[in-house]
Structure 1
Amino acid sequence: MGTGSKPPSKRRGAPTIADVARKAGVGIGTVSRVINNSPAVRPETRAKVQAVMEELGYVPNPHARRIAGGRSYTVSVLLPFVGTEFYLRLIEGIEEELGAQRYDLALFPLLSRKRLERFLNSSALAYHTDGLIVASYDLSERFPGGRLPTDRPVVMVDARSRAYDSAYLDNALGGRMAAEHLLELGGPIFAVQIEEELDRVFASTVFSSRLGGFREALAAAGRPLATEHLYRTRLSAEGGQMALQRFLSLAAPPLNVFAAADVVALGVAEEAERRGLVVGRDVRVLGFDGQPWTAERGLSTLEQPVEAMGRAAARMLIERLQGAQPEPRQRRFEPKLRIRASTRP
């Protein structure tokens, strides 16, 4: 015999795509197209659906989206390291752009020869997300035909490739700007050549391009860089310290040093101070990268728009994921000279 009461209501869990469609007054297919960034949705409809998703706290399930649309909504980012200021800033720029399109990042640091060799195999997990962003090292050079073993869209950042879209800094221009600035100061000129080889597998051209532009400008000014005025070292503050020790054995202050990277410039400055020399008077040092801490330290540097490069690379990848099929595009960025106490005339 019935009691006349209604059956207990079903407990509500997380909002579903059906809830979003019902509240927005559209079909489930329309919500799916909004989630998948389909261009076949009118802007006003897209805005309404996105507003409802936010109101309900609806978070698309990437696994469900993979089944429904063949996508994981994840992008692989291959990069040499993860703990440096440069790569943290680069990731920030990439994530800002991808996050706006509801894509997640999967980071794959190369780190060592053993790890690097994993990515020479097409079965590597990095090749099975929706697309790849490869930072600093052009892995495609390791494969026949100069193409990575994937049919997913690929974009290079902080590197340049003929086969893929690229967002890169004109490092050679930065080297020429460095030489022109130091030539204005007078006195002998020295430079630090930074080793680029990653565990003897392949090398980036970033630092060699910087030094190449530097040499080119000095030669054009009739002041070619003497062989003994070049010191080869690792990318570290300790490398900068050892470089200045060598340079001071060859010439008395004042002298000028192009350190080619901010962390190396910091080491040069620290060694000068340890010896009781005045940075900016006895030792003029110019870095490269534009790390945020260089302003407080008074180090002159060539700034590179790291976050902007990351955003540009992510934007090009998104355009590919949305169906764009242009020829490989090249987005060139220029450095900006920041003159501070360490080289101020």
Structure 2
Amino acid sequence: MVASIEDVARKAGVSIATVSRALRGLPDVAATTRDRVLSAASELNYVASPFAARLASGRTATIGLVVPFVNKWFFGEVIDTVESALRKAGFDLLLYNLGDADGRARFFELMPVRKRVDALLVASLVLTDEEFDQLTALDRPVGLLGLPRPGFLSSRIDDDASSRLAVQHLVSLGHRRIGLIGGDADDPMRFTPPLHRRDGYRAALADAGIEWRPELEVLGYFTPEGGAAAAERMLALPDPPTAFFAESDEMAYGALRTFRRSGLRVPEDVAIIGFDDQPLSEFFDLSTVHQPVAEQALDITLRLLATITGSTEADGGDAVLETEVVVRGSTDASRSVI
């Protein structure tokens, strides 16, 4: 039979409150009493309830994570990294998948995390001022993944600058007709990559003196199927692109299938570069922008934990992690491994 705190109190000859204070190391317990309580707990193999300990400390030992989707690679990596870091620190993860615009509105209206978490991490959402006000009203530390905001901890990459590098790589190879396979910048979920990566694409064209052509921007909705359809649509143009920038590797995978079915050689007839550097990208021989997803998620999680526990001085502010263009066979035949 598992010993209870009442058993420890009876054996030590003290009250339950005294046992609780002694086991928590509070200073208002005499040394002899503390020794007696510790001895009784040891003899009975008493293990304190983690839930009770959390209540006594005034903390939940839980961090909330808000994501717009769970069925996309980026967010899967984030969830896995955050959960692992919290588990090692003795914290739990409370996940909120918004899913759609109604789920998002409901979350920020009700704020179901209130009194349930010690901190909140919001991943890759472009937030309104009203939503930021709701987060501030929680009176809990809040971390942002993918979006900076004064007064909040944040960790991210520079999507705009990283996309410029991708397009500049295509320009350096001599391409002037460069298509964009993008996400929906008008998506009501308003997550960050479709906005910033499109901006980087357009800026790189302007830097190179290339006129922007709206027909060379087609939505791929961050899926392989969408990427395949977007590439097919642009290849059907009278003056099709000779190169493509896909805002995610998944969309680039779909475009590669379209090129193959169209009888086009990659990169001799058409080149493509993606974004993310997912594990499969090396097998697809896909040039891409490597972004450190796990490193971003770990950075913001550890800083949130430091803020909560006070174990170390929390490093506040905005952390911007580096990205890198990884050149493979889809843009440079000499780099091909296939």
In the superposition, the TM-score normalised over structure 1's length comes to 0.78
Unaligned runs of 5+ in 2: 9-18, 27-41, 334-338
TM-fit CA distance, 1:30: 8.2
Q: Secondary structure at the match of 1:121?
A: helix
Q: Say whether the 8 Å CA contact 2:225–2:254 is kept in structure 1.
A: yes
TM-fit CA distance, 1:74: 1.0
* More displaced stretch, 240-249 vs 326-335: 326-335
TM-fit CA distance, 1:265: 0.7
Task: Pick the aligned partner of 1:115 from 103, 114, 137.
Answer: 103
The answer for the alignment partner of 1:295 in structure 2 is 282
The answer for the alignment partner of 1:73 in structure 2 is 61
Task: Pick the aligned partner of 1:96 from 84, 109, 117.
Answer: 84
Q: Secondary structure at the match of 2:137?
A: coil
Structure-2 change in CA distance of 1:119 and 1:341 (3 Å):
same
Q: Deviations over 1:66-115 (max 9, x none)?
A: 32101111111010111222111112221232222110101110002232
Equivalent residue letter for 1:102 = G
For residues 1-345 of structure 1, what are the structure 2 equivalents within 5 Å?
11-12=1-2, 32=24, 61-125=49-113, 128-139=116-127, 141-143=129-131, 145=133, 147-187=135-175, 188-198=177-187, 200=188, 202-250=189-237, 255-323=242-310, 329-344=317-332
Q: Say whether the 8 Å CA contact 1:73–1:129 is kept in structure 2.
A: yes
Structure-2 change in CA distance of 1:221 and 1:252 (3 Å):
closer
CA distance in 2, matches of 1:334, 1:244: 29
Q: Say whether the 8 Å CA contact 2:146–2:192 is kept in structure 1.
A: no
Unaligned runs of 5+ in 1: 1-10, 19-26, 35-52
The answer for the alignment partner of 1:4 in structure 2 is none
Q: Secondary structure at the match of 1:133?
A: strand
TM-fit CA distance, 1:301: 0.9
Residue correspondences, number: 304
CA distance in 1, matches of 2:305, 2:106: 26
* More displaced stretch, 279-288 vs 263-272: 279-288
CA distance in 2, matches of 1:193, 1:313: 27
In the superposition, the TM-score normalised over structure 2's length comes to 0.80
Q: Secondary structure at the match of 1:343?
A: coil
Structure-2 change in CA distance of 1:165 and 1:245 (3 Å):
same
Q: Say whether the 8 Å CA contact 2:154–2:300 is kept in structure 1.
A: yes
The answer for the alignment partner of 1:37 in structure 2 is none
TM-fit CA distance, 1:303: 1.1
Q: Deviations over 1:177-207 (max 9, x none)?
A: 0111001222321112310445x3x512322
Structure-2 change in CA distance of 1:306 and 1:15 (3 Å):
farther
CA distance in 1, matches of 2:25, 2:68: 35
The answer for the alignment partner of 1:44 in structure 2 is none
TM-fit CA distance, 1:122: 4.5
Q: Say whether the 8 Å CA contact 2:178–2:242 is kept in structure 1.
A: yes
CA distance in 2, matches of 1:293, 1:174: 20
CA RMSD, Structure 1 to Structure 2 (Å): 3.1
Q: Which has the higher contact order (CA 8 A, sep 6+)?
A: 1
TM-fit CA distance, 1:227: 2.2
Q: Secondary structure at the match of 1:315?
A: helix
TM-fit CA distance, 1:269: 0.5
Q: Say whether the 8 Å CA contact 2:108–2:134 is kept in structure 1.
A: no
Equivalent residue letter for 2:85 = E
Percent identity for Structure 1 against Structure 2: 28
Equivalent residue letter for 2:247 = A
Structure-2 change in CA distance of 1:239 and 1:127 (3 Å):
farther
CA distance in 1, matches of 2:24, 2:267: 60
CA distance in 1, matches of 2:46, 2:205: 59
Structure-2 change in CA distance of 1:278 and 1:254 (3 Å):
farther
Q: Secondary structure at the match of 2:283?
A: helix
The answer for the alignment partner of 2:35 in structure 1 is none
